[in-house]
Amino acid sequence: MQKSIDTEPFPTARFIKEIGRGVKGARSLSREDACQLYAAMLDGRVSDLEMGGIMLAMRIKGESVAEIAGFLDATEASFEQLHAPQGVQHDYAPIVIPSYNGSRQMPNLTPLLALLLAREGAPVLIHGVSSDPGRVTTAEILHELGYPVSHNAQQAAEQFARHAPVFMPIAALAPRMSALLALRRILGVRNSTHTLVKIMQPFATPALRLTSYTHPEYLAMLTAYFTTAAPPERGEVFLMRGTEGETVANAKRAQQISWIHDGECTILVQKQEPVDEMPPLPAERDAVTTARWIEAALSGEVPIPISIAEQVEQCLLVAKHLQSKQGAPDGAAIR
C-alpha cells in the first residue's frame, strides 16, 4: 500500500558530506541511510539546492550496492504495488519489462517481445515513458498496434484478463519517481532514478524482471545487488546489456542473458558472435513502420529474429518455474 507523505523539510547536509567528496574521497551511505534519504527525495522534502547537490554527487561517485538497495526499498514503498491477475488460471509469474529508452538508430522491438510473451498467456507489464524527443518509444508503437495505455490498476487488470500486454506510464505507476526522472531536463544529466526504474519490481507478488545495463561498471554492481542484497521473495531477474537501453534482445547480435535467482547467477544465453547476414528488420524505425512489421512477424509473414525467439523461450521457462514455486516451496531449479 502507498505510504503517506511526510511534509516536514528533511536536512541532508550529513548525507551530502559523505557522498559529495568526489570519486576518491566520497563514502557510501548505509542501506538504512540511503532509504531514509531517497524516501525524503520522493516525498518532496528536500530543497531544490540540496536535491541538485545529491544527484550530482551520486552521479560523480556512482551508487554502491547498499545505496541501490536502500533507494529501492524507498522506491517500492512509495507507490501502490500491482497484483498478479486474479480469477483466471495463469501458469506464469508476471513478467516486468521497463522501457525508458526507446530507439534512436535501430527499430524498437520491445513491443514484439511483450506481445510474444502475452500471446503464450504470460502476464506482461511494460512501464516507462510515453514519449522521448528524438526516440521512438514502446508506448508509441503499442498505440499504433491498437493497445491502450493503462492509467491505474483496474485498467491493467482488464488488459491482463485479455492476455494483452499492459503499458503503464511511470507517471501513473509511480508518480513520485516520475517527478525525479523529470529533473534530467533541468540538470542535463541522468540521476539514480534512471537506474532504479529499470530494476524496480512493481508487483506485490514475485515477478520476473527483465533488466539491462549500458555501462560495464553497472553489470558488476547490479549483479552484486541482485545476488546479495535483493529480497529473494520479490522474484527473479534477467540481466543483459541493453539494446539502445531496452531489455529486448538485439535482433542483429544476441547479448548474454544472465538469470539471477536464489543468490546465484546462471548464464542462460551466450553472447553471439558477429554475423555477416542480417535478419530482415523494419525498413525504418518510426512507430508506424515498426508496428506494421511487428504485425507481419506475429502473423508469420516475416521471421521473428532468432535472438528474440530465444529470449521469449527463456522468459516463459523461468516465469513458469517461478509461478510453480509459489505453491511448492522446495520447487526444483531449472536444469
Long-range contacts, 140-143 (Cβ 8 Å, 24+): 140/102, 140/287, 141/108, 141/110, 141/111, 141/287, 141/290, 141/291, 141/294, 142/111, 142/114, 142/167, 143/287
pLDDT higher than 90, residue 177: yes
Q: Give pLDDT, residue 253.
A: 85
Instruction: State percent of the chain over pLDDT 70.
Output: 93
Residue 138 belongs to domain with CATH number: 3.40.1030.10
DSSP string, 140-164: HHHHHTTPPBP-SHHHHHHHHHTT-
- pLDDT class for 40, splitting at 50, 70, 90? very high
- Smallest CA-to-CA distance from 77 within 217, 186, 204 is with 204
One domain, residues 67 and 116? no
Instruction: State percent of the chain over pLDDT 90.
Output: 82
Task: Report which secondary-structure segment, H or E, holds 76.
Answer: helix 65-76
Is residue 87 assigned to a domain? no
Mean pLDDT confidence for 258-284: 85
- pLDDT class for 274, splitting at 50, 70, 90? low
One domain, residues 53 and 156? no
- pLDDT class for 137, splitting at 50, 70, 90? very high
One domain, residues 101 and 211? yes
Mean pLDDT confidence for 218-244: 95
- pLDDT class for 1, splitting at 50, 70, 90? very low
Residue 45 belongs to domain with CATH number: 1.20.970.10
Q: Give pLDDT, residue 278.
A: 73
Give the whole-angstrom CA distance, residue 141 versus residue 119: 17
One domain, residues 51 and 133? no
pLDDT higher than 50, residue 283: yes
Is residue 85 assigned to a domain? no
- pLDDT class for 202, splitting at 50, 70, 90? very high
Single-letter amino acid, residue 83: H
For 180-200, write each residue's pLDDT tens digit. 999 999 999 999 999 999 999
For 110-126, write each residue's pLDDT tens digit. 999 999 999 999 999 99
- pLDDT class for 271, splitting at 50, 70, 90? confident
One domain, residues 250 and 160? yes
One domain, residues 231 and 280? yes
One domain, residues 239 and 292? yes
Domain boundary among the residues 49, 76, 103 is at 76
One domain, residues 105 and 247? yes
Is residue 166 assigned to a domain? yes
- pLDDT class for 275, splitting at 50, 70, 90? low
Is residue 333 assigned to a domain? no
One domain, residues 104 and 175? yes
One domain, residues 143 and 240? yes
Q: Give pLDDT, residue 327.
A: 65
pLDDT higher than 80, residue 89: no
Is residue 297 assigned to a domain? yes
Q: What are phi and psi of 257, to 5 degrees?
A: -120, 125
- Smallest CA-to-CA distance from 258 within 289, 222, 204 is with 222
Q: Give pLDDT, residue 182.
A: 94
Mean pLDDT confidence for 205-225: 94
Q: Give pLDDT, residue 3.
A: 53
pLDDT higher than 60, residue 330: no
One domain, residues 198 and 245? yes
Which structural domain range is residue 310 located in? 95-325
Give the whole-angstrom CA distance, residue 122 versus residue 316: 7
Residues 6+ positions from 206 with CB-CB distance below 8 Å: 93, 233, 234, 235, 236, 322, 325, 326
For residues 208 and 237, the answer to whether their CB atoms sit within 8 Å is yes
pTM of structure: 0.93
Lowest mean pLDDT among 20-34, 201-215, 261-275: 261-275
Is residue 28 assigned to a domain? yes
Q: Give pLDDT, residue 276.
A: 61
Q: Which cell numbers in the block locate residue 288?
A: 508506424
Q: In the chain, how many domains are there?
A: 2
One domain, residues 135 and 240? yes
